[in-house]
Amino acid sequence: MKVKTLTEQEVLYESDRLCHPSIGTLFKRKRNQTIICRQFLLYLFFYNHHPSTGENHLIIFHWRVQMIKKRTQLKAALLLAATINVSYAAEVCFPPAKGTDFSDVLQCMQDKDDAQQQQIEALKKENQRLANIVRSSQRQIDSQQQRIAALEPKKEKPLRYIDNGDGTVTDKESGLTWLKNANCFGTQQWQTAMQSAKNLKCGQCCLSDGSTAGMWRLPTREELVKMVDERYRNPALSNAAGTGQWKEGDAFSGVQTYNYWTSAEYAHYSGEAWYVDFDDGGAAVYGKSYIAYVWPVRRRQ
């Protein structure tokens, strides 16, 4: 095998020279066969980009080329040369041994290409087999995890409000203890509400907690606002678990969708105090002579 550097014009020249009708060893002197010859030889010129020089090296194989004379066979040969994996086949089939018939070279290329395709198909099948094993194993793992999850006890969300069973409810978020009955005193003016909360003790409002007068009070504005759940309206309060809107007995009773007094007086005018509206959860100031509901609270004992 001889390697030489050629320009594109020299490549065309080589194809014209080797396929000229006057060279009887290649073709009979027919124009159509000359054109086919030129195209065929151009397919057999392998261009390789040289990494150091950037030149195109043209590989020409020197052996006695015995071209196929039938036009249909030449077309098949050209198609084979154009579509086959030449770089792979060239490692085995080129350069041919001395005296090798050209048709044998083409057959060698075809055979090696077929062998390579068979290897590729075998690898594809093996990959598919392994992929099926992985998918089957994953399905088994998923099934096992589902069975394990079904056997494990379900973890329920911890309750925010704990009914203590003594007429009180403890808020786990704030640590405060509220009177369970949010409507024990009805509506009262602010000053009266402050006194009612202060005087609350065990035996009143279904209390059995052992509390005494002075332990209860009206909540601050911040404490009452913290009870509001803005996801809900009418009333703006959640159930004991915090997973839905409040319903009677879960965990409080008698909650009203109206204003509840706080102990906070309005800083700019002593005749007003803050309240929280449990219809929408908003907080505002109100004249102390107006009436609102009373919801006593105390620190957890």
For residue 12, the enclosing domain spans: 2-83
pLDDT for the residue 215: 96
Q: Would the pLDDT of 56 be above 50?
A: no
Residues in the chain: 301
* Residue 130 maps to a domain: no
**6-42 residue pLDDT tens:** 455 655 565 555 555 544 333 343 444 444 454 445 4
Distance CA 290, CA 286 (A): 7
**182-239 residue pLDDT tens:** 999 999 999 999 999 999 999 999 999 999 999 999 999 999 999 999 999 999 999 9
Hey, what amino acid is at 2? K
* Residue 182 maps to a domain: yes
Report, as an integer, the average pLDDT of 134-149. 89
Kindly state whether residues 45 and 173 are assigned to the same domain. no
pLDDT for the residue 109: 64
* Residue 100 maps to a domain: no
Kindly state whether residues 170 and 275 are assigned to the same domain. yes
For residue 67, the 8-state DSSP code is -
Distance CA 171, CA 169 (A): 7
Peptide bond into 95 cis (omega under 30): yes
pTM: 0.51
pLDDT class of 287 with cuts at 50, 70, 90: very high
Kindly state whether residues 66 and 169 are assigned to the same domain. no
Give the domain-ending residue among 83, 100, 123.
Answer: 83
* Residue 138 maps to a domain: no
Distance CA 200, CA 191 (A): 15
* Residue 271 maps to a domain: yes
Q: Which residues contact 80 (CB under 8 A, 6 or more apart)?
A: 106, 109, 110
Domains: count for the chain? 2
pLDDT for the residue 148: 85
pLDDT class of 246 with cuts at 50, 70, 90: very high
pLDDT for the residue 151: 82
Indicate the SS3 state at residue 235. coil
* Mean pLDDT, all residues of the chain: 76
Q: What is the separation, in whole angstroms, between the first and last Cα of the chain?
A: 101
Report, as an integer, the average pLDDT of 47-76. 38
Report, as an integer, the average pLDDT of 50-64. 37
Give the domain-ending residue among 66, 83, 100.
Answer: 83
pLDDT for the residue 11: 53
